[in-house]
Structure 1
Amino acid sequence: MLFIVSLVLALFTALFLDRQLKSKPAVFYISAAVLTAASIIVSQSSITVSSPFIRDYVIGMFSRGALGAAFWAIVMWTGALPAGSAPIKKLMPVRGELSITAAVLTLAHIVTFGMRYITSIINGRTGTGSAFRDFVITCILSVSMTLIMVPLTVMSFKAVRKKMNAKTWKKIQRLAYLFYAMIYIHIMVLFVPKAQKGREGYFLSVLVYSAVFIGYAVLRLRKAYLSKNKEASRLVPNAVCACAFIIPLCLSGIVSRSAKTVQKPVSTSPEPTFEAPEEAQSPTETTSATANAAGKATTSVKATTTAVTTSGSTEKTTESATEETTQPITEEENVSDQQESNEPEETPQQSYRFRNGTFEGTGEGYEGKVHVTLTIEDDVITSINASSDDDPEYFDDAMDKVLPQIKSSMSADGVDACSGATYSSNGIIEAARKALEQAAN
């Protein structure tokens, strides 16, 4: 899962590179900015990344905001851990640097998806029904989070912080709580519908994000309560916090699975092939077959007549009868053998609609070209794959709906598009149609 990998990288940076981050923060800021810029350039240009690993994990870690969210998670939990604990002593001195790095990494996600949302609004591609509702919610949340993140990031620089009043700075920084809550809501709006549809990995993503953000909120409230009630027993607040963590986490899992419909993934393994039915024989083949049959019948009649004549000649001696009957039978058998050897062997003729091999086609998707690659063997699609620079959230839905139809019907005609991902669906259908046209005999 992308967020777990990002979380490991963020933890490694915070725990093992804390001294370097504290002494030379500019190196980390510049590195994050370069990686962010590279991710934006690749995602916004016509560059096609063929490697799924590079596209989904390396570039996706930045463009989808997973790495930025992981750094924000470290910043959050640093403020929620018990005071005086070892992690606090390790992370608190670099918390400001971590937040600036997180903000720089988040810019890749803001720019990449911001451009897509703007393009969608301009072209009127905002969806309908629940898709339109989710689109509006994510737009509002994205703009609000950006407006909060930018000033908080600027205030995290030491030069700016020293010039501000400590109380004023602290009050403004409290907006971070709202920012963290918006991150979680933003993720749930995007991921829960995918998890409900049975999309692979999204249910686990919902649980992991919920554990991180709900756990932070519970620990932060516990820390605030204990700081004001230092003499109070910790048994009751600990029990309340445990329930406050487990119950919402379970609810998030229930909501994510309640409307789940399991979709069968498109198999890339070869399927059993079936022989095509033999075509009707041509008139020439029919005449030849009839003549051969007649020849064999004539030979059979001659052999039978000879046998009867031979058996009827009882007055001849055994030697003469043998000499008289053996000669004509042998000649007839030789003629029959020669006729059979001259007859061409009949082989079943099979005709296929498509040539065997791998074929590619391109179509116009939501935000760029869609590429479809399919492999055909004896009029059976043994594998079919699609790739595009379209929003993965919608393009993956389109693939799950469209590719199985094309594979089962061996055609791009009459294929139903995925609701909410019509443009990506049409791009896949167009690309598959061109690939099948190349394969046609």
Structure 2
Amino acid sequence: MLFLTALFIALLIAFCLDKPLKKCPAAFYISAAVLTVASVVITQFDINISSRFVRDNVLGIFSRGALGTAFWAVVMWAGALPNGFAPIKKLMPIRGELSITAAILTFSHIITYGVQYITNLIKGRTGSDFVVTSIVCLAMVLIMTPLTVMSFKKIRKKMNAKTWKKIQRFAYIFYAFIYVHILVLFVPKAQKGREGYFLSILVYSAVFIGYAVMRIRKYYIANKKPEKKLLPNTVCACAFALPVALLGALAHNSGETASKPSVVTEEKAATFTFAPETTSAAEKAVTTAKDGKKTTETTEKTDKDTKTTTTSAETTKKTDENKKTEEEKQEEKHEEQEHNDEPAQEQHEEAPAAEPQPAYKYRNGEYEAEAEGYAGKVHVKLSIENDVITCISAWADEDDPEYFGDAMNTVIPQIGAKVSADGIDACSGATYSSNGIIEAARKALEQAAN
């Protein structure tokens, strides 16, 4: 799971590089900014990364906000751990530096998906989940930005300590919004059986609910100062376990959807149909046959005209030469007999040739293939009739529906028009889904090739 990897990296930096972070925080801020910019550039300019591992686990740890959230988790728990606890001595002195680093890394996710949200808004995609997510994200940015600015030492020193502390309490709302944002996005996908999302919800719930429980416990013990801590510890354990269990039950898909994701998705596959038209190869073959027929007819007509002219000339010649000898007349009759035999032979030769049958590039039938998409397999099924694609269906196991929909609407009409997967323009912003559709269509056409 991506978040666990990111959490391991954040903890490693916090505990092993705490002194360099405290001594020279600018180096960490610049490094985080460079990684953020690189992630945004690669994502927004559709730079193709062939390795799915690199795409998901290296680029994804920034663009999906996993690393930024992991740093926020370390910052959160640094303030929730009991006083005197050993990790407190490591984390509290660098908590401000960790929060600034977390904010810089989070901007990678904000910019990447902020562009997508704006695009969806322009295209009219304003479902309930979209509205909730947009409001939550906007609130998060409005809270995170000023809190991050005030975390710099120079600005913090210029502010009143009590005022600064009161403003920083808005961080609790920010942490809650992070968790709500995750649930809004992940719970529907977990219910549909999408691989990995159920486990993600459990892990995020453990981190955020556990933080809330520990933070309340710390506040209670600091103010009430109970002699025995068994009761608050028991209450905290129940307060942690019950919500996590309820959310796990809510997110868990009771059916067997996850076992056969491609079959379920195939039932909901988008299908594109194309009007059957004569292909250029067939048109060329038919045109050639027609031209050949016209040429034959023209030749036959010319030969007939020549024949008529010759016969007329011979008749005139016979009238003018009435005084020829009997021997000459017999010779002329012999020549005329030979001449009259020629049309039969010419008629036989001039018989119109049979029209050639067009040679088709593809066999008729249905063909199906798959290729690698953004987050899983992409499937394409197409029907061919006389070198014409009459129908194309496409579906994905894991790709985001909105990205995949944009890719289909851009790529499939081109494939249908060209009857080929070569020279197809990918959809900007959905390059990997587009390439998956193109490659799957190419494999299907290779199966159909004669």
Question: Is TM more than 0.5 here?
Answer: yes
Residue 40 of structure 1 deviates from its aligned partner by 0.4
Q: CA separation in 2, counterparts of 1:197 and 1:87?
A: 39
Question: Which residue is 2:391 aligned to?
Answer: 413
Is the contact between residue 3 and residue 66 of structure 1 (CA under 8 Å) also seen in structure 2? yes
- Correspondence 1:67 to 2:67: yes
437, 444, 448: which one pairs with 1:436? 444
Question: Which residue is 2:202 aligned to?
Answer: 207
130, 153, 161: which one pairs with 1:166? 161
Q: Deviations over 1:105-158 (max 9, x none)?
A: 0010000000011111112234xxxxx111111111111100000000001001
Q: Which amino acid aligns with 2:174?
A: F
Q: Which amino acid aligns with 2:371?
A: N
- Correspondence 1:176 to 2:171: yes
Q: CA separation in 1, counterparts of 2:390 and 2:17?
A: 53
Residue 232 of structure 1 deviates from its aligned partner by 3.8
Question: Which residue is 1:423 aligned to?
Answer: 406
127, 139, 142: which one pairs with 1:147? 142
Is the contact between residue 382 and residue 392 of structure 2 (CA under 8 Å) also seen in structure 1? no
Question: Which residue is 2:285 aligned to?
Answer: none
Q: CA separation in 2, counterparts of 1:200 and 1:140?
A: 27
Q: CA separation in 2, counterparts of 1:61 and 1:139?
A: 21
5+ residue gaps, structure 1: 127-131, 268-351, 356-378
Residue 54 of structure 1 deviates from its aligned partner by 1.1
Is the contact between residue 417 and residue 425 of structure 1 (CA under 8 Å) also seen in structure 2? no
Residue 425 of structure 1 deviates from its aligned partner by 4.7
Q: Secondary structure at the match of 2:136?
A: helix
Residue 424 of structure 1 deviates from its aligned partner by 4.1
Q: Secondary structure at the match of 1:413?
A: strand
Q: Which amino acid aligns with 1:436?
A: A
Is the contact between residue 15 and residue 91 of structure 1 (CA under 8 Å) also seen in structure 2? yes
Residue 230 of structure 1 deviates from its aligned partner by 1.1
Question: Which residue is 2:118 aligned to?
Answer: 118
Computing the radius of gyration from Cα coordinates, the structure with the larger value is 2
C-alpha RMSD of the superposition: 3.0
- Correspondence 1:387 to 2:373: yes
Is the contact between residue 32 and residue 105 of structure 1 (CA under 8 Å) also seen in structure 2? yes
Q: Secondary structure at the match of 1:82?
A: coil
Q: Secondary structure at the match of 2:258?
A: coil
Is the contact between residue 29 and residue 100 of structure 2 (CA under 8 Å) also seen in structure 1? yes
Is the contact between residue 72 and residue 99 of structure 1 (CA under 8 Å) also seen in structure 2? yes
Equivalent pairs, count: 319
Q: Secondary structure at the match of 1:415?
A: strand
Q: Secondary structure at the match of 1:385?
A: strand
Question: Which residue is 1:279 aligned to?
Answer: none
Q: Deviations over 1:183-217 (max 9, x none)?
A: 00000100111111111111100000000000000
Is the contact between residue 381 and residue 394 of structure 2 (CA under 8 Å) also seen in structure 1? no
5+ residue gaps, structure 2: 264-360, 416-437
Residue 59 of structure 1 deviates from its aligned partner by 0.5
Residue 30 of structure 1 deviates from its aligned partner by 0.3
Q: Residues 239 and 380 (structure 1 numbering): CA distance in 2 closer, same or farther, change over 3 Å?
A: same
Is the contact between residue 195 and residue 258 of structure 2 (CA under 8 Å) also seen in structure 1? no
Q: CA separation in 2, counterparts of 1:206 and 1:98?
A: 24
Same amino acid, percent of matched pairs: 56
Question: Which residue is 1:91 aligned to?
Answer: 91
Is the contact between residue 197 and residue 259 of structure 1 (CA under 8 Å) also seen in structure 2? no
Residue 163 of structure 1 deviates from its aligned partner by 0.3
Q: CA separation in 2, counterparts of 1:232 and 1:412?
A: 79
Question: Which residue is 1:9 aligned to?
Answer: 9
Q: Deviations over 1:24-67 (max 9, x none)?
A: 10010000000000000000003111110111110000000000
Is the contact between residue 29 and residue 101 of structure 1 (CA under 8 Å) also seen in structure 2? yes
Question: Which residue is 1:283 aligned to?
Answer: none
Q: CA separation in 2, counterparts of 1:380 and 1:242?
A: 56
Q: Residues 386 and 61 (structure 1 numbering): CA distance in 2 closer, same or farther, change over 3 Å?
A: same
Q: Secondary structure at the match of 2:48?
A: coil
